[in-house]
Structure 1
Amino acid sequence: MSLETGTPGLAPAAQAAPSATLARLRPLVPPTLAILGFFVLWEVACRLFRIPAFILPTPSASIASLVQFAPAVAGHALQTLTTTLIGFVLSVVLGVALGALVGLNRTAYQALYPLLIGFNAVPKAALVPVLVIWFGVGAVPAALTAFLISFFPVVVNVATGLATVEPEPRELLRALGASPWEVVSKVSLPRALPYFFASLKVAVTLAFVGSIISELAASNQGIGVMMNQAASSFQVPLVFGGVLLVSAMGVLLYAVFALVEARLTGWAYRGQG
């Protein structure tokens, strides 16, 4: 009798794990189908309209070119990924520091925000020759370009997140005797986390743009260099292969930050379903 009564009790627990796994994987279905549909449409259109490969290669041809030159592509990809991450980390560290200053201090906000707007209006591609003059051809200009182009979104989002916190929780903590740091750590920082992660997802993709811009202009290694060399020899599938490779790296890093964001700031999106 004990076995008979215990067996049905195991069924819900046994079914909970698969259902929980499916619930976690369900958000991945729409973007996966959209990406697959995009590549299928691209492939079919190129074959149906017989578009020459030197004008628009198929995705399969682009990926095949990456496989064909895999050793060289791996070195270029590692260089681009390294410079991108260095520039991105610099933008996060300095952007969070400056964003906190601007967001928590009204005087700093009024003084520095116009400078930030003016800085962001400068085309970063125009600064690449200057960086090359200062630091020479190589990884340093690429990392700095990645930093410059991804810095502004971090500053603005962090400052906005800290400056738009509701006054009621802060006033309540002050009335209870909380110190300024306790008010910031218990109210302002948690409320600013969604803005911070939004800035990370934008900044990491922009950092790739900065690295590629610098590599296309003046560098000796990286995906931008590979694309330049491929274009000069009319290897258009390899050019598009480089585009797909950069896109894949950007999507993967975006997904990492989106996963961390869901873990830490799920409370901010409870209304979505």
Structure 2
Amino acid sequence: MKLSQKQMQRWAPWVLLVIFIAIWQAICSAFNVSEFIFPSPARIASQLNEFHAEILKHAWRTFWVTMVGFAISIVVGVLMGFLIGSSRIAYAAIYPLMTGFNALPKAAFIPILVVWFGIGVGPAVLTAFLISFFPIMVNIATGLATLEPELEDVLRVLGAKRWDVLIKVGLPRSLPYFYGSLKVAITLAFVGTTVSEMTAANEGIGYLLMSAGSSMQMGLAFGGLVVVGAMAMIMYELFAIVEKRTTAWAHRGSQNH
């Protein structure tokens, strides 16, 4: 049975993943790579099964902490993006400063956050927020700031005020940018949470990675990485589905292929 292009696109990531895992396993088996240095997929699966209860506990902690930080980043990112994108003065004044702030390594903030909030949830939530709000802010601001002048002039002639243009035209037009930023930001949020947990927590996947590494359980450590990647992929796909359902008008061209 011949697969359509749409079906091929749907299955392509899974086929590539299977090929990658097969090559990984073959290399580990052929060269007899030590499990303490680079565990095989079979060893990782074995460790995931053996420690599944503990992994689930730490994964749940990482997940809800990430979601809290990510929710804050959405609120702050949308508000700041709206402020920056709706005013040329605000764009010129704030955007360069935010770009400079985003260049700072967020891991460097963790010791400061520990001093302020102690070891635990606080630093992890704030690290997830700090590392993920920038893409949201930038995309909202870009969607509003790049509104065609001709379109805005026509709406003004028809009696629309600046606020009406931003709310009724600018924001809907920014939705594809917004969903694109969510798919990037959610993966960054998981990175921020995990990094924070590695140094400032006694729970979570980051803590599990440090514990497994110190006890030379490399299969468990790689298993933790797999779990974080799986959670990020699931959230990415969720936002992709919501994007297609709510912004189908922006994907008309791609649906015909």
Q: How many residues align?
A: 252
CA deviations on 1:54-87 (whole Å, 9 max, x unpaired) are 1111122112211111111111001100111111
Give 1:250's match in structure 2, choosing from 223, 229, 232.
Answer: 232
Give 2:137's match in structure 1, choosing from 155, 170, 175.
Answer: 155
Distance 2:163 2:11 in 1: 42
CA deviations on 1:145-203 (whole Å, 9 max, x unpaired) are 00000011111111111111212222212111123333223321121111111110000
Give 2:186's match in structure 1, choosing from 204, 209, 222.
Answer: 204
RMSD between superposed Cα atoms in Å:
1.5
Distance 1:167 1:59 in 2: 55
Distance 1:154 1:145 in 2: 15
Letter in 1 for 2:191: V
Give 1:185's match in structure 2, choosing from 151, 167, 179.
Answer: 167
Question: Normalising by the residue count of structure 2, what TM-score does the alignment of the two structures yield?
Answer: 0.94
Matched, 1:55 2:37: yes
Distance 2:172 2:149 in 1: 14
Alignment of 1:49-128 (within 5 A): 49-128=31-110
CA deviations on 1:26-76 (whole Å, 9 max, x unpaired) are 542111212222212211221122211111111221122111111111110
- What SS does structure 2 have at the residue aligned with 1:263? helix
Structure 2, unpaired ranges of 5+: none
Instruction: Tell me by how many angstroms 1:120 deviates.
Output: 0.7
Instruction: Tell me by how many angstroms 1:269 deviates.
Output: 2.6
Matched, 1:175 2:136: no
Give the equivalent residue in structure 2 for 1:32: 14
Do the aligned residues in 2 keep the contact of 1:83 with 1:143 (CA within 8 Å)? Answer: yes
Give 1:137's match in structure 2, choosing from 112, 119, 124.
Answer: 119
Give the equivalent residue in structure 1 for 2:223: 241
Do the aligned residues in 2 keep the contact of 1:88 with 1:147 (CA within 8 Å)? Answer: yes
Letter in 2 for 1:227: L
- What SS does structure 1 have at the residue aligned with 2:253? coil
Q: Which moved more, 1:233-242 or 1:36-45?
A: 36-45
Q: How many percent of aligned residue pairs carry the same amino acid? A: 50
Distance 2:250 2:241 in 1: 14
Q: Which moved more, 1:111-120 or 1:250-259?
A: 111-120
Do the aligned residues in 2 keep the contact of 1:169 with 1:187 (CA within 8 Å)? Answer: no
Q: Which moved more, 1:120-129 or 1:25-34?
A: 25-34
- What SS does structure 1 have at the residue aligned with 2:147? coil
CA deviations on 1:84-112 (whole Å, 9 max, x unpaired) are 11111100110000001001101111111
Structure 1, unpaired ranges of 5+: 1-21
Do the aligned residues in 2 keep the contact of 1:99 with 1:155 (CA within 8 Å)? Answer: yes
CA deviations on 1:184-226 (whole Å, 9 max, x unpaired) are 2332112111111111000000000000110111211000111
Structure number with greater Rg is: 1
Distance 1:225 1:231 in 2: 10
Distance 1:266 1:36 in 2: 31
Q: Which moved more, 1:49-58 or 1:198-207?
A: 49-58
Distance 2:7 2:162 in 1: 41
Letter in 1 for 2:209: M
Give 1:266's match in structure 2, choosing from 244, 248, 251.
Answer: 248
